[in-house]
Amino acid sequence: MSEKLVIIGNGMAPGRMLEHLLEAAPDRYVVTIFNAEPRVNYDRIMLSPVLSGEKAFEEIVIHGDGWYIKHGITLYKGHRIVAIDRNAKTVTSDHGVTESYDRLVIATGSVPFIIPVPGKDLPGVLSYRDLDDVNAMLLAAQSRATAIVIGGGLLGLEAAAGLKERGMDVTVLHVMPTLMERQLDPAAGYLLQKAVEARGIKVMTKANTKAIVGNGKVEGVELTDGTIIPATLVVMAVGIRPNSALAKDAGLEVNRGIVVDDRMRTSDPAIMALGECAEVGGHVYGLVAPLYEMARVAAAGLADGEDRRFVHSDTPTKLKVTGIDLYSLGDFADGEDREEIILRDASAGIYKRVVLQDNRIIGTVLFGETADGAWFNDLKKKATDISEMRDTLIFGQAFQGGASSDPLAAVAALADDAEICGCNGVCKGKITGAITAKGLTALDDVRAHTKASASCGSCTGLVEQLLKLTLGDAYNPAAVQPMCGCTSLGHDDVRRLIKAKGLKTIPAIMQELEWKTSCGCAKCRPALNYYLVCDWPDQYADDYQSRFINERVHANIQKDGTYSVVPRMWGGVTSAGELRAIADVVDKFEIPMVKVTGGQRIDMLGIRKEDLPAVWADLGKAGFVSGHAYAKGLRTVKTCVGSDWCRFGTQDSTGLGIRIEKFMWGSWTPAKVKMAVSGCPRNCAEATCKDVGVVCVDSGYEIHFAGAAGLDIRGTEVLGLVKTEDEALEVIVALVQMYREQARYLERIYKWAKRIGTAEIKKQILDDVEKRRAYFERFVFSQKFAQVDPWSERVSGKDKHEFRPMASVGFAEAAE
């Protein structure tokens, strides 16, 4: 019979513990989780990118609702445990829910330290620990007013950078002489202050807060020297304390945190503790790497598996502020028995310091250039004698033993047990082994299979170098190549920065992202136009000049300079009236070729450019809209006759195809999208080689995606089976919206899916119902602005230059 495992807290540490436990002993426990926050498990490390706008909350969710359902885990959201009865072995929440346990894990995390000064309880004073704090800051930032961040440590600087990106005037107050004094020496602290101030953030060191002033709300901060700094928002980020009160009330041993042994066991053998609330070997931790090691140890104990024990090790510190490279590790205090090696490059803003004791590294500080951080960490961990490389040590790994300055050579020289991802404890050998064994070819594949680079992302460059090193010429570094010669940025960085900086016009992008040309080129302008349409559907008007000729005239140019016109036939279905209208247009304009397309439509070829407005005017009177045969958008939804006519049909494939096409037509996508719906497994509509396909079966609708039948021939991946037509529509729309938001311009779905990973797409679209619904709703929102009436005022030219060409077929302006 399964034992009952109850977990108090649903942060990153217990989430990782459950992953290990489910892998080692999937049927051992019936699991119940009580989470004080009203949401699922998410990556708290990435709250700073959410605050700055570089990521949405949905992108940092670790375990969506579907994950808990899949594993039979009961999750109580918004339930704070108020009592642990160790004698009865029960816990009780503030909502009155009582649950018994055989084993209990306490993972209550930490609480922010609030400076006990007058005014600390005024509205507008916030801490910075969870998503609620971020949402409150985002609400305050809408005023574009003034913010003060008290605390110049990691969290404080990340909060300041995020609020500045949101348009606030930000001042950082720090009581010590230099920033991040616990992780950096004064020299690096000085450089960090310069870098922060260069971003437009004011920094005041030796600033001791006396009071927060205001009448009914925050109006400013008073310092002990009498200075008053105006502010509408005050964020306290001065430290955290283990949240151990619940354990103390239950009679468990508590010091700074909940005292545990090296197997994460508390003073009660039935209870474990891990994460920021735990104290092990006299240490409490706030960085994720030791918390994840606690998770591994706790899972091994719960599974009665390997005898794993927690061992303290120093964890590197990295700042998650875009454009500031900082790395700190170990002990870098001065001492008589220590020596230091320093490199400074003032013009490049580079500072490196290595602290030695008995010819072994005990501390490292890197600012401005941090690529050798993993190497220095490895030398420190192994207590390597550096005597023979003493003279060149500070220059990094590439300068040792006459090695090449090529960064790949430096990565190749790392030992297999060298740690690459500190957050998740992933070594080089695990990454290269997974690349080889599983045929991984992209960064997201490596993240999915090893978790390297999946947390804070600071090791991304090293992981990409390992991909290149392992795959050689087979590695496609498109992810890091510039999108064109006009910029050094890749598509992914451009998309991220458009959102992060709130850029809503092509000139704004080119100015803020330092484009190398004045107006861009034929590669970047259409891409930027698409990204803006997708990201700001309600605020950005399509740039007419950033279109290819086919999109501007709603027809495909042919080799002789004439054009081809394809009216839309919903799901491939037509009528006598439509056919007569097409025949009349063919006769009237003496169109030399009429052809049935592979997408179940009629193509009219050989039309002169000057005739296009009149051709569309006649077709529009018959109710036709453009089939978008030229579009980076939905082109066709091919169907078979389905259950209405075919004796083998299991579902109404024609009806579903028409429903999908009418729901989604007119939406921009990174590349063309072709769909199909087959009414039975005989697959007459060829749904298994399309970008998105549906194969109807007796039990519902089998959703396929990532097929191709052009230059590349490939069958689809099966996303999953849903039972109803409504579910099928929601899944397909959500899948396409995920593709719209994440793919690079001109990247087909099958290439995007290979890069992202099928498992990740299934996780977000099928497993996580909330995330799927969010994608669906964002698509619906965008369609409000993309789908306009294509004919009422269009052909007369009354709305000249105000149309959205993807969703319209008017041509008054196209003839000019």
Contact 5, 101 (CB under 8 A): yes
Other beta carbons within 10 Å of 189: 22
Rounded to whole angstroms, the Cα distance separating 146 from 128 reads 17
Rounded to whole angstroms, the Cα distance separating 291 from 294 reads 5
Residue 663, φ and ψ in degrees, nearest 5: -70, -35
Residue 423 annotated as part of some ligand binding site: no
Type of residue numbered 442: A
Q: Which residue has the tokens 């930000």?
A: 170
Contact 685, 676 (CB under 8 A): yes
Contacts of 389 (CB under 8 A, 6+ apart): 400, 401
Rounded to whole angstroms, the Cα distance separating 771 from 730 reads 12
Contact 713, 665 (CB under 8 A): no
Element (H, E) at 635: strand 634-639
Tokens encoding 733 = 């729309």
Contacts of 202 (CB under 8 A, 6+ apart): 170, 171, 172
Contact 790, 620 (CB under 8 A): yes
Contact 714, 750 (CB under 8 A): yes
Residue 689 annotated as part of some ligand binding site: no
Rounded to whole angstroms, the Cα distance separating 22 from 563 reads 59
- Strands 634-639 and 673-678, by their bridges, are parallel
Other beta carbons within 10 Å of 403: 15
Contacts of 145 (CB under 8 A, 6+ apart): 168, 169, 232, 233
Residue 277 annotated as part of some ligand binding site: no
In order of 501, 554, 594, 673, the CA distances from 508 in angstroms are 10, 28, 45, 29
Rounded to whole angstroms, the Cα distance separating 137 from 130 reads 11
SS3 letters across 303-360: CCCCCCCCCCCCCCEECCCCCCCEEEEECCCCCCCCEEEEEEECCCCEEEEEEEECCE
Q: Running DSSP on this structure, what letter comes out for residue 143?
A: T
Between helix 725-742 and helix 769-786 the angle, nearest 10°, is 80
Q: Which residue has the tokens 């605020």?
A: 539
Strand stretches in 175-318, DSSP E:
202-205, 209-213, 220-223, 228-230, 233-236, 240-242, 258-260, 271-273, 278-280, 317-318
Contact 262, 297 (CB under 8 A): yes
Which of 148, 150, 154, 149 has the alpha carbon at shortest distance from 182? 154
**Helix, strand or coil, per DSSP, at residue 754:** helix
Contact 551, 805 (CB under 8 A): yes
Q: How far is CA 606 from its chain centroid?
A: 46
Question: If you write DSSP's letter for every residue of 244-265 in order, what string do you get?
Answer: -HHHHHTT--BSSSEEE-TTSB
**Helix, strand or coil, per DSSP, at residue 193:** helix
Rounded to whole angstroms, the Cα distance separating 260 from 253 reads 8
Contact 175, 207 (CB under 8 A): yes
**Helix, strand or coil, per DSSP, at residue 668:** strand
Residue 521 annotated as part of some ligand binding site: no
Q: Which residue stretches of 608-700 are H helix?
A: 612-621, 653-664
Tokens encoding 413 = 């020289």
Which residues are known binding-site members for siroheme?
684
Which residues are known binding-site members for [4Fe-4S] cluster?
640, 646, 680, 684
Which residues are known binding-site members?
640, 646, 680, 684
